[in-house]
């Protein structure tokens, strides 16, 4: 094992989705042999990494404004005879490239999502070159996974990246441009990483990919394996109690994958399946490759094999050309489907995407009004879904300490955050919990064993 040469601290700020949370964990693991431990305090750090996301509106501006606040820490550190390095990683780094250095010359390294495995080498290069920048924004996802170190200590519920990039080119989305073409990791690599995570105490794995159900990695014999096949392989690993995957595309929900939801016990009854709109006209303009009817049919098939399946989704309102009629079609789809959770946004232009230059952009007040109507409906559905669990006993995997003293927080199979007063010895275990209160965003309960003791 490599001994750290000097004690240094890295502060990593993660923006955006679980893919970025995973990438930040991997960066921290990769920097550990160089002596870096993670800190939550940027002022104490020797290395500051902004792991950025380009999905949200004004993503690049947010990064520049955060840099504006963080860069003065360099002068403070210098007065204490310390040096601070700045790294911008992730999708904004990919999209902006050298522009970041032009606007913020203090940034030492700009590294794209497919090249962060080269961070140690880039840090050394930045050290040697003094103030010269290192910009690395190629797309070699294949090499990245080969060169990342083994996993270390991700906790009871761990992310595992199995697929990256996307070939679907939805007209509003930057992912195909920032993460590159679709790439699936080989099955054996995924299985090895899963076994390492289980050895380190994980019992739940969430498989990640921008379009995860397009997964088609090769097995040891060179045969293509689907996501359903991969899930079945992983379910055989001793110690894996729960499997999830995200984010899926409705057009990639194959019959085989739907069947897995019915007969693969560790596959949890929760699925994030973005529909974006209930109007076929809008879905066509988005280049979504599914219709409202095909989405409804997929949901029906899923619920047939797994009646307790909780569904969450993504919605964009005010896509260019969306009429009141189109928006009502979205409301109808939501009313019929009933979602346990959802993420909904106003459409905002992403430079470089086809939708950014479409005519008939919707006026902001109309977007705002439609979004608040949709969100009220989704919030109602989420709360009533949660209320359905009051007094029920649900198995909870305890993942971490809660916000209150003596409290632990875990997840139900349906992805509820569940808060329970419980001893820390329950961390990492799955325990039956009696739900005593269902809020809009989570559940509170007591350990079933405590209930029995109280009544017995
Ligand atoms: S499928 Fe998802 S990641 Fe791919 S282009 Fe569409 S929205 Fe983006």
Whole-number mean pLDDT of the chain? Answer: 90
pLDDT of residue 1: 40
pLDDT of residue 130: 60
Residue 81 tokens read as 């005879």
pLDDT of residue 49: 95
Bond from prior residue into 16 cis (ω within 30 degrees of 0) = no
Average pLDDT over residues 305-318: 97
Sign of the alpha-carbon torsion through 412, 415, 420, 424: positive
The DSSP string of 234-293 is HHTSTT--EEEEE---GGG--HHHHHHHHH-TTB-SEEE---B-S-HHHHHHTT-S--HH
pLDDT of residue 448: 93
Q: 378 pLDDT exceeds 80?
A: yes
Cβ atoms of residues 274 and 249 within 8 Å: yes
437 — phi, psi (to 5°)? Answer: -150, 140
- For the Cβ of 210 lying below 6 angstroms from any atom of ligand 1, the answer is yes
Of the candidates 135, 144, 234, 130, which has an alpha carbon nearest to the alpha carbon of residue 180?
144
The alpha carbon of residue 194 and the mean position of all alpha carbons in its chain are separated, in whole angstroms, by 17
pLDDT of residue 2: 41
Average pLDDT over residues 40-52: 93
318-343: pLDDT as tens digits: 999 999 999 999 999 999 999 999 99
The radius of gyration of the chain from alpha carbons, rounded to an integer in Å, stands at: 23
Report the alpha-carbon angle 409-411-414, nearest 5. Answer: 150
- Quote the longest CA-to-CA distance of the chain: 71
Out of 173, 177, 182, 288, mutate this one to test ligand 1's pocket (max ligand atoms within 8 Å of CB): namely: 173
Residue 422 tokens read as 């419980």
The alpha carbon of residue 445 and the mean position of all alpha carbons in its chain are separated, in whole angstroms, by 27
Looking at per-residue pLDDT, the higher value among 351 and 419 belongs to 419
| Protein fold of 150-268 | Transcription Regulator spoIIAA (3.30.750)
Average pLDDT over residues 140-162: 76
> How many percent of the chain have pLDDT more than 90?
67
49-94: pLDDT as tens digits: 999 988 766 778 889 999 999 999 988 888 888 889 999 998 888 8
The alpha carbon of residue 70 and the mean position of all alpha carbons in its chain are separated, in whole angstroms, by 25
Evaluate whether the domain defined by 272-387 bears CATH number 3.30.750.200: yes
The H or E element that residue 176 is part of is helix 175-178
Average pLDDT over residues 118-137: 71
Looking at per-residue pLDDT, the higher value among 257 and 120 belongs to 257
Average pLDDT over residues 306-317: 97
Contacts of 178 (CB under 8 A, 6+ apart): 54, 91, 94, 95, 112, 113
Distance 11 CA to ligand 1 centre (A): 30
Q: 4 pLDDT exceeds 60?
A: no
pLDDT of residue 162: 95
217 beta partners: 225
CATH code that applies to domain 8-140: 3.40.50.12160
Q: 401 pLDDT exceeds 60?
A: yes
How many CB atoms neighbour CB 78 within 10 A? 11
Distance 269 CA to ligand 1 centre (A): 23
Q: 278 pLDDT exceeds 80?
A: yes
Average pLDDT over residues 4-24: 83
Q: Which of 3-12, 260-269, 292-301, 400-409 has the lowest mean pLDDT?
A: 3-12
pTM of this structure: 0.83
Instruction: Give the burial class of 342: count Cβ atoms within 10 A of its Cβ; 0-12 exposed, 13-18 middle, 19 or more buried.
Output: buried
Out of 17, 19, 169, 170, mutate this one to test ligand 1's pocket (max ligand atoms within 8 Å of CB): namely: 170
Three-state DSSP class for residue 341? strand
Cα–Cα distance for residue pair 273/317, rounded to 1 Å: 17
pLDDT of residue 411: 97
Residue located nearest, by CA, to atom 6 of ligand 1: 170
pLDDT band for position 5 (cuts 50, 70, 90): very low
Atom nearest to 179 CA in ligand 1: 3
Distance 166 CA to ligand 1 centre (A): 6
Residue located nearest, by CA, to atom 1 of ligand 1: 168
Q: Which of 50-59, 264-273, 293-302, 414-423 has the lowest mean pLDDT?
A: 50-59
pLDDT of residue 3: 40
pLDDT of residue 116: 83
The H or E element that residue 371 is part of is helix 364-387
Please state which of the four CATH numbers 3.40.50.1980, 1.20.1730.10, 2.40.50.140, 1.20.1280.50 is assigned to the domain occupying 393-455: 2.40.50.140
Atom nearest to 174 CA in ligand 1: 8
The CA-based dihedral angle spanning residues 122, 124, 126, 128, taken in that order and rounded to the nearest 10 degrees: -140
Distance 276 CA to ligand 1 centre (A): 11
One fold for 8-140 and 272-387? no
pLDDT band for position 453 (cuts 50, 70, 90): confident
Instruction: Give the burial class of 287: count Cβ atoms within 10 A of its Cβ; 0-12 exposed, 13-18 middle, 19 or more buried.
Output: middle
- Residue ranges per domain, the chain? 8-140, 150-268, 272-387, 393-455
The H or E element that residue 12 is part of is strand 8-14
pLDDT of residue 194: 96
Residue located nearest, by CA, to atom 8 of ligand 1: 173
210-236: pLDDT as tens digits: 999 999 999 999 999 999 999 999 999
Report the alpha-carbon angle 115-194-197, nearest 5. Answer: 90
- For the Cβ of 349 lying below 6 angstroms from any atom of ligand 1, the answer is no
Cα–Cα distance for residue pair 343/333, rounded to 1 Å: 15
- For the Cβ of 158 lying below 6 angstroms from any atom of ligand 1, the answer is no
Q: 132 pLDDT exceeds 70?
A: no
Cβ atoms of residues 17 and 210 within 8 Å: no
pLDDT band for position 254 (cuts 50, 70, 90): very high
The H or E element that residue 335 is part of is helix 324-337
- For the Cβ of 355 lying below 6 angstroms from any atom of ligand 1, the answer is no
- For the Cβ of 209 lying below 6 angstroms from any atom of ligand 1, the answer is no
């Amino acid at each position: 094992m490599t001994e750290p040469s000097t004690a240094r601290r890295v502060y990593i700020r993660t923006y955006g989705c679980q893919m970025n949370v995973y990438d930040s964990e991997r960066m921290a693991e990769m920097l550990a042999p160089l002596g870096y431990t993670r800190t939550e305090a940027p002022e104490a750090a020797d290395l500051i990494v902004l792991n950025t996301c380009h999905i949200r509106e004004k993503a690049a501006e947010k990064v520049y404004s955060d840099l504006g606040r963080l860069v003065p820490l360099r002068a403070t550190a210098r007065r204490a005879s310390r040096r601070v390095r700045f790294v911008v990683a992730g999708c904004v780094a990919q999209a902006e490239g050298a522009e970041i250095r032009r606007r913020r010359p203090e940034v030492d390294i700009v590294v794209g999502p497919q090249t962060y495995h080269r961070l140690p080498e880039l840090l050394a290069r930045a050290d040697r070159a003094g103030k010269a920048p290192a910009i690395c924004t190629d797309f070699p996802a294949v090499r990245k996974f080969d060169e990342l170190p083994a996993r270390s200590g991700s906790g009871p519920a761990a992310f595992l990246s199995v697929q990256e990039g996307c070939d679907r080119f939805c007209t509003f989305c930057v992912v195909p441009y920032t993460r590159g073409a679709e790439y699936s990791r080989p099955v054996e690599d995924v299985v090895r990483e899963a076994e390492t995570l289980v050895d380190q105490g994980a019992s739940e794995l969430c498989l990640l990919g921008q379009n995860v159900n397009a997964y088609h990695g090769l097995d040891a014999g060179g045969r293509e394996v689907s996501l359903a096949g991969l899930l079945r392989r992983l379910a055989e690993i001793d110690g894996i109690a729960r499997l999830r995957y995200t984010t899926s595309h409705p057009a990639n929900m194959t019959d085989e994958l739907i069947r897995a939801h019915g007969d693969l016990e560790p596959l949890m009854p929760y699925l994030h399946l973005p529909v974006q709109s209930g109007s076929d006209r809008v879905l066509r303009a988005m280049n979504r490759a599914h219709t409202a009817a095909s989405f409804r049919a997929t949901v029906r098939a899923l619920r047939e094999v797994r009646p307790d399946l909780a569904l969450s989704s993504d919605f964009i309102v005010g896509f260019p050309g969306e009429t009141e009629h189109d928006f009502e079609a979205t409301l109808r789809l939501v009313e019929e489907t009933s979602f346990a959770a959802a993420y909904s946004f106003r459409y905002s232009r992403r430079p470089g995407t086809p939708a950014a230059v479409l005519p008939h952009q919707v006026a902001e007040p109309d977007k705002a009004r439609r979004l608040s109507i949709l969100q009220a409906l989704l919030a109602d559905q989420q709360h009533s879904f949660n209320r359905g669990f009051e007094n029920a006993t649900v198995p909870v995997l305890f993942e971490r300490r809660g916000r209150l003293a003596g409290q632990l927080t875990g997840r139900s199979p349906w992805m509820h955050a569940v808060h329970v007063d419980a001893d820390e010895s329950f961390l990492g275990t799955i325990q039956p919990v009696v739900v005593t209160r269902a809020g809009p965003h989570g559940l509170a309960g007591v350990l079933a064993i405590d209930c029995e003791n109280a009544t017995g």
